[in-house]
Amino acid sequence: MAYPFQLGFQDATSPIMEELLHFHDHTLMIVFLISSLVLYIISLMLTTKLTHTNTMDAQEVETIWTVLPAIILILIALPSLRILYMMDEINNPSLTVKTMGHQWYWSYEYTDYEDLAFDSYMIPTQDLKPGELRLLEVDNRLVLPMEMTVRMLISSEDVLHSWAVPSLGLKTDAVPGRLNQTTLMSPRPGLFFGQCSEICGSNHSFMPIVIEMVPLKTFENWSLSML
């Protein structure tokens, strides 16, 4: 989860988020190189009185500054498209969970089970226990098995919401009358926090998401205790 004064992304927990972080670093290095080159040329032009007049209308220079940006855009576009298609893949999910956004809470339904569904509300500040996080803790966590592909079906019953968990690289709009889907998979257990990322009304900032990734055996015991 995020910490105070954090400047970068949260630690990646899913393969997709790891790819997104690598792409971010790749693009940022290209931006740094371009910025450094432009700054160097500007400072050179401001500090020297020497001018090579033949370069002002040279065909070679025009060719270079036309082809080079095209190559840079290709170097950015190819990995971007690769990750985009990876995020849309649905690889034989082992579990399906339907998420519905409400004003202002989330409801979850495990569609592979008959009567496994619950609502998830934020715990008020006055009811928090020592060590729990303000505005992030919920009364019913979304418990999922680790190392398994989970399909999330996301929609809304009233207004636009957005189901977002940064450390898993997830952000999917919850639109009334429309069913969006995404997949998630975590190779390790833990608690992963998110929030609604679409302004949905006065209590928009009080719609936290808590995913608890557990081993498969623990998930089976939990699901049996909820039925």
Task: Judge contact between 120 and 102, C-beta under 8 A.
Answer: no
pLDDT digits (tens, 9 = 90+) for 122-168: 999 999 999 889 999 999 999 999 999 999 999 999 999 999 999 99
pLDDT at 139: 92
Q: Is the pLDDT of residue 226 over 90?
A: no
Q: Is the pLDDT of residue 171 over 70?
A: yes
User: From CA 120, how far away is CA 76, in angstroms rounded?
Assistant: 40
pLDDT at 4: 84
Percent of the chain with pLDDT over 90: 70
pLDDT at 219: 94
Q: Does domain 95-226 have CATH number 1.10.1060.10?
A: no
What is the rounded average pLDDT of the residues 13-27? 93
Cα torsion 26, 28, 30, 33 to 10°: value is -140
Domains of the chain, by residue range, sit at 15-88, 95-226
Q: Is the pLDDT of residue 217 over 70?
A: yes
What is the rounded average pLDDT of the residues 28-38? 94
pLDDT at 52: 65
Domains 15-88 and 95-226 share a fold: no
Q: Does domain 15-88 have CATH number 1.10.287.90?
A: yes
